[in-house]
Structure 1
Amino acid sequence: MGEAKGHVLFFPYPLQGHINPMIQLGKRLSKKGLTVSLIIASNIHREPYTSEDYSITVHTIHDGFFPHEHPHAKIKDPPRFNESTARSLTDFISRQKLSSNPPKALIYDPFMPSALDVAKDLGLYVVAYFTQPWLASLIYYHINEGTYDVPDDRHEDPILASFPGFPLLSQNDLPSFACEKGSYPLIFKVVVSQFSNLRRADCILCNTFDQLEPKVVKWMDGQWPVKNIGPVVPSKFLDNRLPEDKDYELGDSKTEPDESVLSWLANKPAKSVVYVAFGTLVALSEKQMKETAMAIKQTGYSFLWSCRDSERSKLPSGFVEEALEKDTGLVAKWVPQLEVLAHDSIGCFVTHCGWNSTLEALCLGVPLVGMPQWTDQPTNAKFIEDVWKIGVRVKTDEEGFASKEEIAGCISEVMEGEKGKVMRKNVENFKVLAREAISEGGSSDKSIDEFVAMMT
């Protein structure tokens, strides 16, 4: 690794989908010589620990909640969370500035704009790091600027929305918070306030790459000091320049791949298995879970379903047991998703279209069947289907419900239809572009090198 050139603080929003991209960028910066402190806001104090493979130390600061309160309570009470973390972050940075290797910069998640003000006031170089794509974040920007007005009712005024560098978007293509005034009021404020003080940031990073969103990136370049540094997917599945980087963990509690899942896949023909996963937060209704299960059964394809215990009870009675008995499917509560997507047996990925899952599928050349639920997922699904053409979006009724016939038809189209062949070719092309971007001399690698140079 060589001698440490500079000390950088990372401050992710404390949800796994935001923490993981921060960890991955931290690994890249560590291997290029920087010392990284990863600060996690939590209601449970843990002693600092340092990764064996990287010069990354993880610290916790208090998030303003008590240990008995639910970890997601911060989402329901943003003022309490922001006020407490601002105080805790101030104390942490002040102590670090007195250390033998004081920090030069704070890389923060714009979901916590107060972190920018804290770091600026304490004299640090401040970097905003968007872990979601520009295609969603820019919609929040236009809402904050007043150049897009969220409709009062998504059904009364189904107009097409137009943004620089975007295709026209219907109401169903917008992030869920931008469809109708008053929906998700607390989270709406969080996502829009990302841009409340962003002009004060010295640099802006994003987990995307230039070739993925070229029109949007071109517009952004005229507005902000932007560097795209993605995709920050573990190196083993991209450029392999960090061969020990096989997952999103830091080595203190590495989870070994579930060999039973991988062994089951090993007995399946190439491109024959439908992989189903809806992320760590999405909870489908019981009716939708049952309908999705019946759709998968109807297609006749083998399937692997990553299904949390809280969701498993929503599946049809006997569904899991029948699939096991006939060896047509496997429902597992935890699946090593990167290992699975990289497996030859996987034919398509039925997904909620979260950004991390979308990037992983793209980087591993797996076409998608999108069932977006909320946040940025509908917009991601629009680009997946109509811009990148690497998958299809399942159509729903006015209540957002997808029928088994619709789901089954989409899966069959991707697995063996004519359009599916085009999608597979397109996603293979993006797989190449993603690897080129993060490999030595690629656009994202150059952006990372430029940032490291600023810290020396």
Structure 2
Amino acid sequence: MGEAKGHLVFFPYPLQGHINPMIQLSKRLSKKGLTVSLIIASNNHREPYTSDEYSITVHTIHDGFLPHEHPLTKAKDPLRFNDATTRSFRDFISRQMLSDNPPKALIYDPFMPFALDVAKDFGLYVVAYFTQPWLASLIYYHINEGTYDVPVDRHENPTLASFPAFPLLSQKDLPSFACEKGSYPLLYDLVVSQFSNLLRADCILCNTFDQLEPKVVKWMDEQWPVKNIGPLVPSKFLDNRLPEDKGYDLGDFKTEPDESVLKWLENKPAKSVVYVAFGTLVALDEKQMKEVAVAIRETGYKFLWSVRDSERSKLPSGFVEEALEKDCGLVAKWAPQLEVLAHESIGCFVTHCGWNSTLEALCLGVPLVGMPQWTDQPTNAKFIEDVWKIGVRVKTDEEGFVSKEEIERCVAEVMEGEKGKEMRKNVEKLKVLAREAISEGGSSDKNINEFAAIFT
């Protein structure tokens, strides 16, 4: 790799969906000769760890919470998180500035605008890195600017929302807190505050690619110095230019692929299995969980469902055992999602439409059944169904509940309907464009090279 030419500090918001894209960019920059310090704000201190494969050192700084407190507490008590993490971050940067290789830049998650202010105090070049797509972030921007006024009551006067370079959005297409004032105050503050000091950033990066959101990107180019650098999923599943990059890890976090899951998929016919996973944070209530279980069992397709330990008690009694006994499905505690989506037996992906899951499916050519829950997910689902046409979105009742009949209808449409064939063609086209963007000479590859050149 040669001698390190510059030192960059990466500071993701401490949730896995935000950390993973940061890790993936740090790997690519590390392979260009840059040294990376990746900081995780946590209530569990770990000694610094340096990756064997990359010039990346992972540091933890204190986030103000006690070891026994749940990781999501930070979102529920943002003042405590911001105050403690600001102090810890300032101390960390102070020490680094006195080192033999002081940092030249901070790449931070705009969910933590305080990081920009601290970095500017130390004279660092500051880069805002959006790990969610522009199609969601721009809605937050318009709310912050006051160019979109969140309705007082979602039922009183439901209207279509119009944003520059966007299709018209109904209320169900908007982020959860943008439908009704005061509905998710903490979430609202967290995502809208991203834009509170963004104009002070020297550069803006986003985990998307130009060809995926062309109209939005064109509008963005006229506002800010933006570089789209995605899709940042492990290289093995895209361009394979970093052959050792097979997952979202740096060596110490490695999770070996669950061979039992991949073995179960082995003898299944091509495009015959329905994969179901709702990410690391979404928790369906028991009624909805049972409805999903009955639906996927009654579709008649083989299914693989990744269900966290904390959620398994919500499944119908005997469901897991019956699926195994009849060999109609497998309920796994954890599934190696990239390996699963890359497997030829997978026919569709029932998902919450989180951005990382959406990008992974798109990069691996798997059509989607969307069951969005909150934040950017409803807007992602709108684009999946109506703009990119690579999937279908379930319809909910007024309470947000999805019936088993509706889930069955959507799965059947993707797996065997005429529309499903179109979705498959469309997702294959986007798969090609995604790979072109990140491969040598592609739009995202050029942006990463131009960015790296600033510090080398």
Compute the TM-score of the two structures, normalised by the length of structure 1: 0.99
Counterpart in the other structure of 2:295: 295
Counterpart in the other structure of 1:394: 394
Counterpart in the other structure of 2:373: 373
State the identity %.
Answer: 87
Counterpart in the other structure of 2:114: 114
Once the two structures are superposed, residues 262-317 of structure 1 have per-residue CA deviations (whole angstroms, 9 ceiling, x without a partner) of 01100100000000000000011111111111111111000000001111111111
Q: Return the letter of the residue paired with 1:98.
A: L
Shift of 1:146: 0.4
Once the two structures are superposed, residues 132-175 of structure 1 have per-residue CA deviations (whole angstroms, 9 ceiling, x without a partner) of 00000000000000000000111112100000110000000001
**Distance (whole Å) between structure 1 residues aligned to residue 261 and residue 435 of structure 2:** 27
Name structure 1 gaps, 5 residues minimum: none
**Distance (whole Å) between structure 1 residues aligned to residue 186 and residue 299 of structure 2:** 40
**SS of aligned partner of 2:36:** strand
Shift of 1:2: 2.0
Counterpart in the other structure of 2:271: 271
Counterpart in the other structure of 1:78: 78
Shift of 1:250: 0.4
Counterpart in the other structure of 1:202: 202
**Distance (whole Å) between structure 2 residues aligned to residue 308 and residue 61 of structure 1:** 27
Counterpart in the other structure of 1:251: 251
Is 1:229 paired with 2:232? no
Alignment of 1:295-374 (within 5 A): 295-374=295-374
Counterpart in the other structure of 2:424: 424
Q: Return the letter of the residue paired with 1:333.
A: K
**Distance (whole Å) between structure 2 residues aligned to residue 195 and residue 432 of structure 1:** 33
**Distance (whole Å) between structure 1 residues aligned to residue 314 and residue 44 of structure 2:** 31
**Distance (whole Å) between structure 2 residues aligned to residue 177 and residue 245 of structure 1:** 36
Shift of 1:355: 0.3
Shift of 1:68: 2.6
Aligned alpha-carbon RMSD (Å): 0.7
Q: Return the letter of the residue paired with 1:134.
A: W
**SS of aligned partner of 2:314:** coil
Counterpart in the other structure of 1:155: 155
**Distance (whole Å) between structure 2 residues aligned to residue 398 and residue 101 of structure 1:** 57
**Distance (whole Å) between structure 1 residues aligned to residue 94 and residue 309 of structure 2:** 42
Shift of 1:69: 2.1
Counterpart in the other structure of 1:214: 214
**SS of aligned partner of 1:449:** helix
**Distance (whole Å) between structure 1 residues aligned to residue 286 and residue 151 of structure 2:** 30
Shift of 1:184: 1.2
**Distance (whole Å) between structure 1 residues aligned to residue 71 and residue 158 of structure 2:** 36
Shift of 1:83: 1.3
**Distance (whole Å) between structure 2 residues aligned to residue 445 and residue 2 of structure 1:** 21
**SS of aligned partner of 1:313:** helix
Shift of 1:32: 1.1
Counterpart in the other structure of 1:138: 138
Shift of 1:443: 0.4
Q: Which moved more, 1:65-74 or 1:167-176?
A: 65-74
**Distance (whole Å) between structure 1 residues aligned to residue 405 and residue 44 of structure 2:** 46
Is 1:46 paired with 2:46? yes
Counterpart in the other structure of 2:283: 283
Is 1:128 paired with 2:90? no
**Distance (whole Å) between structure 1 residues aligned to residue 107 and residue 317 of structure 2:** 48
Shift of 1:371: 0.3
Q: Return the letter of the residue paired with 2:120.
A: K
**Distance (whole Å) between structure 2 residues aligned to residue 65 and residue 152 of structure 1:** 34
Once the two structures are superposed, residues 197-249 of structure 1 have per-residue CA deviations (whole angstroms, 9 ceiling, x without a partner) of 00000000000000000000000000000000000000000000000000001
Q: Return the letter of the residue paired with 1:237.
A: F
Shift of 1:440: 0.7
**Distance (whole Å) between structure 2 residues aligned to residue 321 and residue 66 of structure 1:** 38
Is 1:184 paired with 2:223? no
Shift of 1:125: 0.1
**Distance (whole Å) between structure 2 residues aligned to residue 392 and residue 142 of structure 1:** 27
Shift of 1:254: 1.1
Q: Return the letter of the residue paired with 1:139.
A: I
Once the two structures are superposed, residues 168-191 of structure 1 have per-residue CA deviations (whole angstroms, 9 ceiling, x without a partner) of 000000011111111110111010
**Distance (whole Å) between structure 2 residues aligned to residue 215 and residue 134 of structure 1:** 11
After the TM superposition, list the runs of 4 or more consecutive aligned residues in structure 1 that deviate by more than 6 angstroms: none
**Distance (whole Å) between structure 2 residues aligned to residue 394 and residue 12 of structure 1:** 32
Q: Return the letter of the residue paired with 2:285.
A: S
Counterpart in the other structure of 1:90: 90
Counterpart in the other structure of 1:445: 445
Count residues with an aligned counterpart. Answer: 456
**SS of aligned partner of 1:61:** strand
**Distance (whole Å) between structure 2 residues aligned to residue 223 and residue 120 of structure 1:** 21
Q: Return the letter of the residue paired with 2:291.
A: E
Q: Which moved more, 1:244-253 or 1:329-338?
A: 244-253
Counterpart in the other structure of 2:17: 17
**Distance (whole Å) between structure 2 residues aligned to residue 284 and residue 43 of structure 1:** 26
**SS of aligned partner of 2:18:** helix
Q: Return the letter of the residue paired with 1:94.
A: S
**Distance (whole Å) between structure 2 residues aligned to residue 114 and residue 222 of structure 1:** 26
Shift of 1:319: 1.4
Counterpart in the other structure of 2:30: 30
**Distance (whole Å) between structure 2 residues aligned to residue 76 and residue 197 of structure 1:** 22
**Distance (whole Å) between structure 1 residues aligned to residue 401 and residue 253 of structure 2:** 39
**Distance (whole Å) between structure 1 residues aligned to residue 311 and residue 260 of structure 2:** 21
Q: Return the letter of the residue paired with 1:323.
A: A
Shift of 1:70: 2.0
